Structure 1
Amino acid sequence: MRSMKNFYILCMLMLLSFTGIAQKKNYALSIHGAGGFLLAHRSVMAHLPQQHTGALNFRLSFLGKDGKYWQQLMNQPTYGLDVHFTSLGNKNLLGKGIAGLYFVDVPLSKSLFYPSVYGGAGLAWVEKIYDVQHNPKNNAIGSHLNLAVRLGLNMNYEWEQTHLHFGFHVMHFSNGASKMPNLGVNLPYVQLGVSQFIGDAETEEYATFKALRKDVTHWRILGVYSRKDVYPLLQKVSSVYSLSAIRTKYKSKYWSYDLGVEFIANQAQAKMFPNRVIKQGELLQVGLYTAYVLSFDRLDLFAGLGGYVKNDLNIAGWLYQKVGARYHFNDKWAVQFAIKANFGKADYLEYGINYTFHEK
């Protein structure tokens, strides 16, 4: 419980720090209430949903009026920090959850009554997790700290500086198979909210980070480290290493595509064959990979598909997918975070460092 309170304090400090930054910008303070349920997306989770879920979230939003290319392209979206408090549908086995997310809400039209698409990602804290002695029936989540992803569709009404919101959202908590069990927590819900915009900002035109990269090709190397847990439970968590060579072609100011080859040493595979000695050569996987990349100034969001050309143990099949984000510190260095999955089943989380060594 003390750790959950610490996570709550961290989320509120982040919100307050964003408020300090917002003093000279057009920004909004929002409050939203939501109701929904815990989705038992696997038959073995049918015992978990016991109550309806309720949620309350506080949001600090910036209005995209800085003249950046991606803001103009997306009808001046709002973006910022969302702190989300929710019950999880089973107070005895799951308890409550808190999430802090960075989000973008993109209007689909320019009018007083307009739809928008919401996407957010961050970290979440789950109060009650699997414990072999004290909570063995919680087969959904095995770690307190998790990744949080939230997607939604909103209908909004703009009345001067006040905006009213109605939407359908889905929240997902998962640790990316870093600690089993990891079936995940999915929370569909409807929400109502109100935002009050404060201040005004003049639009300025200037070259963005990605605008300077138009019509160029980059060659990058990517190093990744991860931790992966497998069944049976209570084993030691294994390490995953990978090294990739990637060619990135920027087709415009806001999108590009990646082509790459990656070499993966997934040590967790050996635990799937407890009665056999697995050599490192058998653990090595080689994959070919491509991804679509959408750029927001220094931030890239990407979704990709890969296939193995070497996959000796073939535990999860020959195809895999990735969804993630990459942040550029400068023209050379970037950090990357991604989820690698096999058709909806998490394989592991990727924590990576990119280095660009050639550009033309």
Structure 2
Amino acid sequence: MKLVMLFFLLPIVLFGQESKKDSWEFSVKGKSGFLAAHRGTMGHLAKDRLLAGEFSFYKRVRSKSWSSDYRNPYVGITLYGSNLGNRDILGYGFGGYGFVEFPWTRSEKFVLTSKVGAGLGIITKVYNKDSNPKNVPMSSYVNALICLGVQGKWYVKPNHGLMLSLDMTHFSNGASKVPNLGVNMMFVGLGYSYTVANKEPKVVDARTFQHVPFFKSWNVSLVGILSEKQIFPTGGKRYPVFALSGMLYKQFKPKVGMEIALDVISKQSIFNYREYIPKTQGSIIQVGAYLGYNVPLDRFRFVLGMGAYLRDRYDQDGRFYHRVGMRYQCENGLLFNLVLKSNWAKADYVEYGVGYTFNYKARYHAK
């Protein structure tokens, strides 16, 4: 599942590090919206008004040296349930996801945030060529659950808040099985929050950043990647994907990092592409150069980038590829990778990876 288990790690890690400076809250929210038919083949699906409910438990992080860089973000877990816009064909979706909300303002009375969340979801109806052939978006009962949105929260009293939100919620299996157009649901939400332990805001010493020349202090990593990919026709064979990425990473500012990678990819599904062309294990190897932007959150970082194939003999998906996901850097050098690789808006496969950073060192030091 794309962007799932590693994202759950973030709230778990932070929840385990209790501090008297952090405020715990829970909220309930009702949402209403519509199913966005992002492909012409989905035009027949949007029939029912979307109705959803959410229960969230989270805290506002004030106690970390990095939290002030992000105006003290909210980190937590949400339980989710809704119909999917067509009860007869798509059924219902349920799940849970970890999330981070980044405040845009420093006000303690009214807080406007942007939200990103990822987790696991279960749907009740999937594609079946005999009993449910019109369900072209979903072929797996278990899917990734993604939420992106903005939210305003008004604390009418120190412990009581009202919420208004706009978001997109997405179910998809990351192209591990076809068909997989996924569902995109657009919501407006109203909710209530209660602060269980409202702590007085305190100033935490900010991190100091060591500026060094561009060509110095890059972290060097090697990441092994394993995945699988199913191709059309529906119900076809699943093919393994093997890859190795040599990566350079550097953090330039508190919220800005960059990575450069050389990717070597063996995608076994290429053997099924134009089968009349003879192929070997050596000939299907793809080599790509990649550049990515990172948003660091302590040792956890979000990844967004684009690459180009330097070697791709069969040019199955075009010359460019893209990545969106996350990485987690352990203090002992281990690096965990969970990234969706795509060709523009078309999902290719999910990169499940484990690697090692040979010269890992934190760029921040306490005053």
Q: TM-score, length-normalised on structure 2?
A: 0.87
The residue type equivalent to 1:305 in the other structure is: M
Per-residue deviation, residues 82-136 of structure 1 (Å, max 9, x unmatched): 1111110111111110121111111111232342111111111111111122211
Name which structure has the greater RCO, CA cutoff 8 Å, separation 6+.
2
Equivalent residue for 1:149? Answer: 146
Match of 1:241 in 2: 242
Which has the higher mean CA deviation after the structures are superposed, 234-243 or 154-163? 154-163
User: What is the aligned-residue identity percentage?
Assistant: 31
Amino acid at match of 1:221: L
Root mean square deviation of aligned Cα: 2.4
Task: Indicate the residue corresponding to 2:228 in structure 1.
Answer: 227
Distance, in Å, in 2 between the alignment partners of 1:158 and 1:26 is: 13
Q: Please show how residues 241-320 of structure 1 align to structure 2 within 5 Å.
A: 241-320=242-321
Q: Secondary structure at the match of 2:350?
A: strand
Q: How high is the TM-score relative to the length of structure 1?
A: 0.89
Contact 2:231 2:237 in 1 (8 A): no
| Alignment CA distance shift 1:16-1:309 (3 Å) | closer
* Equivalence for 2:24: 27
Q: Which runs of 4+ in 1 moved over 6 A?
A: 15-24, 211-214
Question: Could you report, residue by residue, the CA deviation over 1:192-234 in whole angstroms, capped at 9, with x for unpaired residues?
Answer: 01111111447474788xx799753211101111110111111
Amino acid at match of 1:76: N
For residues 332 and 257 of structure 1, the distance between their equivalents in structure 2, rounded to whole angstroms, comes to 18
Aligned equivalents of 2:17 and 2:194: distance in 1?
17
Residue in 2 aligned with 1:77?
Answer: 73
Per the alignment, residue 56 of structure 1 pairs with 53
Contact 1:262–1:288 (8 Å) recurs in 2: yes
- Matches for 1:48-197 after TM superposition, within 5 Å: 48-69=45-66, 71-111=67-107, 112-159=109-156, 160-197=158-195
- Separation in structure 2 between the aligned mates of residue 230 and residue 16 of structure 1, nearest angstrom: 35
Alpha-carbon deviation of 1:26? Answer: 2.0
1:227 is aligned with what amino acid?
Answer: E
Taking the aligned partners of 2:117 and 2:191, their CA distance within structure 1 comes to 17
Residue 38 (str. 1) matches residue 35 (str. 2): yes
State how far apart, in whole Å, the 1-side matches of 2:85 and 2:58 are. Answer: 28
Distance (whole Å) between structure 2 residues aligned to residue 186 and residue 22 of structure 1:
36
Secondary structure of the residue that 2:282 maps to in structure 1?
helix
Deviation digits for residues 255-311 of structure 1 (CA, Å, limit 9, x no counterpart): 321011010001112222233432222211000001111111121111011000101
- Alpha-carbon distance change, 319 to 96 in structure 1, aligned in 2, over 3 angstroms: same
- Give the unaligned 5+ runs of structure 1: 1-14
Q: How many Å apart are 1:171 and its aligned residue?
A: 0.7
The C-alpha deviation readout for 1:141-198, integer Å capped at 9, x for no partner, is 1111111111111222122221211111001111111000011110001000111111
